[in-house]
Amino acid sequence: MVDSIWSPIGGGITAPRGFKASGIIAGLKSSSKPDLALLVAPQGATCAGTFTQSLARAACIDLCIQRLLVTESRVRAVLINSGQANACTGERGLQDSLKATEEVANLLGILPEETLICSTGVIGSPIPMQNLLPALDQLVKELSVEGGHSASRAILTTDLVEKEIAFEANLGGKVVRIGGMAKGSGMIYPNMATMLGYITCDIGMPSKIWKKVIHKIVNNSFNSITVDGDTSTNDTVLAFAQGEFLSEVYWPQLEQGLLLVAQHLAKAIARDGEGANCLIEVLVKGTSNEQEARQIARVIVNSSLVKTAINGCDPNWGRIIAAAGSSGVFFDLKKVNLWIGSFQLMRSGEPIKFNKLEISSYMQDKMKGKYLQNDCIPIKLEVGNGKGCGFAWGCDLSDEYVRINADYTT
């Protein structure tokens, strides 16, 4: 239903009218890669944000939350630095965030309170302000409606690919566009990794409604992915809406488009997990409600034993069932049915005969499809007759993940 309404277009985060972005090399990293980005929204834009629930959160998180309250969600700009999380850096972390946003606001001619900052990178590392501040003038000068791709590159850390998408649809005679970009590859287990996500839309919606919609969208996308089960200090999703208010009649269609963008970005993060070879998609059906289904799915896809079995192309269904049973959601084992791809492994709570080599070969083929959109290994679990249905996405766990993270700062 979503795909029949929304069509993919180019432009990423700046595809919606009125939004500009830029991304440059500011020298924040040891490598000569883009590391500083800026996203600017049109005047009057409404911003909704969801943030990490970690108590060990970066100062920029508190600053964003405070400014969203002060401005009543009217935000014009977001500065994003890559390389340093600026978390657990004491008072300096806050002061650097305040200084950076003040300088950006002055260059843009807006209020500091209308400017947010997001940081990503190594925890405990402060922003090298001696490099960031002199680069802000160039960053502002390079703002453009074509700058979405540059921005999506500049926010990456251990990511191997950019994550951006845009869609458009005709709603009530108006062409509506939604764009998005994200970053994330490790420390992914959002609870609103190091994960950042941004969404833009060129149609308006009342602020209270927009916040509710985005909260729902995040729960069914960014909050339904995992790479390694670790929640970051800096998780942030910011979503902007700007323009003439859309008639309530079309709100469901707009929500579909937002979910399409958010899920694309969320799956791109899981697909690009550190050391990963494939995307794992878990669908759980038959629970009492959607939340329970999503909880079971999330536990399964986060299980190290499930993830390593997938990495080894081993259809070890017992690990899937064991993970589901530890989710905290009650279900009757006698009503459980399980599939990997189109292969059924369990019926009415009991194992059935299957060709292990055939399923393993199927999984191996999926491992070869990385970045070709043919690398998804779907797992479907039915646990009863309820109407609850929920997805979660993750990736396999490889020895490469250990190597990447064993010497991350050394």
Active site residues: 194
Closest CA to 172 of 261, 262, 252: 252
Burial tier of 67 (Cβ tally within 10 Å: 0-12, 13-18, 19+): buried
146 in Cβ contact with 13 (< 8 Å) = no
3-state helix, strand, coil in the chain (%, to 5): 35, 25, 35
Angle at 377 between CA 374 and CA 380, to 5 degrees: 135
Q: Return the DSSP state at 18.
A: T
Query: What kind and span of H or E run contains 122?
Result: strand 115-122
DSSP 3-state assignment of 198? strand
Query: Within a 10 A sphere around the Cβ of 325, how many other Cβ atoms?
Result: 16
Torsion 54-59-61-65 (CA) sign? positive
Residue that is written with structure tokens 């994003």 in the block: 80
List Cα–Cα distances, 72 to 47, 51, 192, 283, in angstroms: 9, 17, 20, 37
Please name the residue ranges forming H helices in 52-194: 59-70, 91-108, 129-141, 148-154
Token pair belonging to 50: 């969801």
Closest CA to 76 of 106, 110, 52, 50: 110
> CA 43 to CA 404: how far, in whole Å?
42
235 in Cβ contact with 194 (< 8 Å) = yes
> CA 171 to CA 252: how far, in whole Å?
11
Closest CA to 234 of 79, 101, 85, 126: 85
